[in-house]
Structure formats: structure tokens, C-alpha cells
């Protein structure tokens, strides 16, 4: 059954409950990747288009987005999402295997995004359509790297997410084909847990030198919470005010920015009280839950939440 879900702000995405549906990995990747003005972007193994479309929502200054998907059913969903959001002039959907992408796309892209199959081929899932998205049945990582190298411009970036336990293999494959790893960030499910994902950005023809970013803790429910530009949110300390609250601890969302050196996503927001100053803090902190040990009386679950009518 087809369903329409909100991806970010006003952006919608069409999915089918019988096919592979995106997880928080896709959202993490779209936030990890860094955009440049007028980037020509491709999303390999695009599925229904979540990585590319979410990236576009965060970075509308890119020149064009090309979604490349092997499975016709998923490519059709991506086309519906493009039409639903009136992005036909900004976005192209190609129903083709990454390895078979035509020569007209050689040296074409300044940024390639990919949330590829993570698992080596083996015992297949009962549902082959979902297995193709999870296992290297139709695309190995070596084939993906070769395709990325051919389709990237010199100096272009390849950003992807993969299993953390395959890091050595991933880095070797990239360097062997002239894609220099420049940024690496591991992801764990909870503080103190071992990483289960790694996100890597490599540059075609880049110089040696890799920035290893701080560990990202991904509580899936928390990372999928998003706020629209202009939305009003409240800090949990608003609950603790006795008497007239006024506009105290109310803020207006400006948007998500990225640290220019580390690429860390940052939430930018404006106070609606006092001098109405601009504020910024790491997105992961902005979306985090209230410290129950420190603030046991607070009913609000998250540090910041959308304002409810009082």
C-alpha cells in the first residue's frame, strides 16, 4: 500500500509498505554530507529517494539532483515524490543499475550520496526486493566505488554510510581507486555502545589526511524528529517558571547549519524574549531528551518541543 509521509518541513515522500522503506541511516547520511553552492548531486541506490530529497530539503542551493535506482517499483515511487513536491526541474530519476549508468554521466557529479547494501550476499531474504536493498546481490562495494570514481568530477566528493565492522575494507577500496577518505564519523545506538555504522566522505584526487569526527549517538526516534523553519518551540525549563510565563524560553527555528570544519549539524534558533538573540547548538543536543536525574519534575520528554496550545 502506498503512503505519503512528511520527510522534512513541507517536503513529502511516497513509500510502499510492501517494499523497502527508509530508516534513520538515510537521514543521518543526508545530514553528514556537506553541500556546496550549485552542486550537481547524485543519490546512488536511491530507493524511493529519501537521501537525495532530504539532502535537497536541507540544501536547496544545489543545482540539480539525480536519483539512481535499480528497482523499477522504487524508482516509480521516487518519481511520484518528485512530482508531489513539484521538483521536476530540480530532480531527475533514473531507473538503472549504478554500474550501468551511461557515459554521458562520466565526470558529471560534484557530490555522490549513497546508502548502499551493507551485507555481503549469502542467505537471501524471503522478499528478494528487500534483499536487494540490504545485501550485495546486485551491487558490491567495489563496484560502487568504481562507479563513483567514474561519475565524479575531479575534486568531487563521495559520501556514504555503511557497517562499522567493514571500515578497513571500505577505506582500502576507496584509496585503491583514488578516492581519498577525508571525513569519517562513527555512529552508535547509545552512549558507551560500540559503533554499528560509519559515515565516510572521500574526495576524488584528494590529498591525504582524514578528519575523524566525534562519535554520533543515534537514538532513532530522536533523530527522526524535525522542525520546520519558523516553527515555535519551547525549552523544557519553561515548565519550571512560576507565575506569568510570557515568552520566556520560547524560540523560533531558523534552520540547520553545518560546522565549516567538522561538518557537524547545528540547529540555529532565535529567542523570542529578552534581546531576541540568535542561538546555536549541536543538532544532537537540541533533539536530546531531558536529563531525568537532574530535572525529575519536568514532564516534557525532549529538551525542545513544538509549542502546544495552553
Specify the CATH number for the domain of residue 146. 3.40.50.150
Same-domain pairing of 135 and 173: yes
For residue 58, give Cα distances in angstroms to 103, 225, 291: 29, 14, 29
Both 76 and 157 in one domain: the answer is yes
The domain that holds 284 is classified in CATH as 2.30.30.320
Crossing angle (nearest 10°) for helices 50-58 and 24-32:
40
Task: Kindly indicate the confidence band of residue 122, based on its pLDDT and cuts at 50, 70 and 90.
Answer: low
CA proximity to 136, closest of 189, 98, 96, 93: 98
**Strand spans (E) along 45-189:** 64-69, 91-95, 109-114, 152-163, 179-188
Q: Which residues constitute the domain of residue 32?
A: 2-218
Same domain, residue pair 214 and 231: no
pLDDT cut 90: percent of the chain above it = 61
- The whole-model pTM stands at 0.70
| Cα–Cα distance for residue pair 34/24, rounded to 1 Å | 18
The number of distinct structural domains making up the chain is 2
Instruction: Give the residue from 151, 184, 218 where a domain finishes.
Output: 218
Are residues 123 and 272 both part of a single domain?
no
Indicate the pLDDT class of residue 17, thresholds 50, 70 and 90: confident
Per-residue pLDDT tens over the stretch 130-141: 666 667 778 999
Tens digits of residue pLDDT in 222-240: 444 678 788 899 999 999 9
Q: Read off the pLDDT of each residue in 12-20 and give the average, rounded to a whole number.
A: 78
| 166: alpha, beta or left? (left if phi > 0; alpha if psi -120 to 50) | alpha
Asked if 7 and 140 sit in the same domain, the reply is yes
3-state secondary structure of 279: strand
Amino acid at each position: 500500500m502506498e503512503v505519503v509521509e512528511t520527510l522534512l518541513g513541507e517536503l513529502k515522500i511516497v513509500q510502499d509498505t510492501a517494499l523497502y522503506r527508509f530508516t534513520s541511516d538515510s537521514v543521518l547520511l543526508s545530514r553528514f554530507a556537506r553541500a556546496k553552492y550549485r552542486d550537481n548531486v547524485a543519490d546512488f541506490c536511491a530507493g524511493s529517494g529519501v537521501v537525495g530529497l532530504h539532502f535537497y530539503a536541507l540544501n536547496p542551493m544545489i543545482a540539480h539532483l539525480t536519483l539512481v535506482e535499480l528497482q523499477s517499483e522504487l524508482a516509480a515511487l521516487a518519481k511520484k515524490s518528485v512530482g508531489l513536491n513539484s521538483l521536476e526541474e530540480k530532480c531527475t530519476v533514473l531507473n538503472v543499475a549504478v554500474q550501468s549508468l551511461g557515459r554521458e554521466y562520466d565526470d558529471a557529479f560534484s557530490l555522490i550520496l549513497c546508502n548502499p547494501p551493507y551485507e555481503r550476499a549469502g542467505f537471501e531474504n524471503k522478499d528478494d526486493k528487500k534483499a536487494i536493498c540490504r545485501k550485495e546481490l546486485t551491487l558490491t562495494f567495489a563496484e560502487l566505488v568504481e562507479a563513483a570514481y567514474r561519475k565524479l568530477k575531479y575534486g568531487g566528493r563521495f559520501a556514504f554510510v555503511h557497517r562499522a565492522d567493514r571500515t578497513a575494507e571500505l577505506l582500502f577500496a576507496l584509496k585503491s581507486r583514488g578516492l581519498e577518505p577525508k571525513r569519517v564519523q562513527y555512529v552508535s545506538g547509545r552512549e558507551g555502545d560500540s559503533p554499528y555504522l560509519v559515515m565516510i566522505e572521500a574526495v576524488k584526487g584528494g590529498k591525504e589526511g582524514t578528519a575523524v569526527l566525534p562519535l554520533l549517538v543515534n537514538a532513532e526516534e530522536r533523530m527522526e524528529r524535525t522542525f520546520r523553519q519558523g516553527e515555535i518551540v519551547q525549552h523544557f525549563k519553561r515548565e519550571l517558571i512560576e507565575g506569568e510565563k510570557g515568552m520566556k524560553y520560547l524560540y523560533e527555528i531558523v534552520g540547520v547549519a553545518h560546522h565549516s570544519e567538522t561538518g557537524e549539524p547545528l540547529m540555529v534558533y532565535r529567542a523570542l524574549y529578552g534581546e531576541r538573540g540568535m542561538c546555536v547548538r549541536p543538532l544532537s543536543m537540541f533533539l536530546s531528551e531531558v536529563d531525568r536525574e537532574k530535572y525529575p519534575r519536568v514532564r516534557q520528554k525532549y529538551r525542545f518541543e513544538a509549542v502546544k496550545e495552553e
